[in-house]
């Protein structure tokens, strides 16, 4: 993963730090979402979740957020 991908994941985690979720689960979720982003698509986390609802649901389930 390149520096931009790592930065995107860290931003994703920071955006959700107040949700009271485990950091490891957030990292897994954010990495899953980042894998969906094309290098030439500079989506914010929220834009990505809204643009690709099935991906958001899939990554939420994989990361077991809320469990």
pLDDT recorded at residue 39: 61
Mean pLDDT of 45-64: 86
Task: Select, from the ranges 38-42, 47-51, 63-67, the one with the highest average predicted confidence (pLDDT).
Answer: 47-51
Residue with the bigger pLDDT between 42 and 63: it is 63
**pLDDT at position 15 over 90:** no
Domain boundaries, the chain: 3-63
CA angle, 31 as apex, 22 and 55 as ends, to 5°? 100
Counting every residue written for the chain, the total comes to: 67
Tell me the DSSP string of 7-66.
HHHHHHHHHTGGG---HHHHHHHHHHHHHHS-TT----HHHHHHH-HHHHHHHHHHHTTT
- The 10s digit of each residue's pLDDT in 18-41 is 888 899 999 999 999 888 876 656
pLDDT recorded at residue 24: 93
The CA distance from 43 to 11, in Å, is 12
């Amino acid at each position: 993963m390149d520096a931009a991908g790592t930065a995107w994941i860290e931003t994703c985690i920071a955006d959700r730090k107040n949700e009271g979720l485990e950091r490891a689960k957030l990292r897994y979720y954010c990495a899953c979402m980042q894998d969906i982003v094309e290098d030439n698509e500079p989506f914010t986390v929220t834009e990505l979740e809204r643009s690709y609802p099935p991906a958001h649901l899939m990554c939420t389930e994989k990361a077991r957020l809320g469990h």
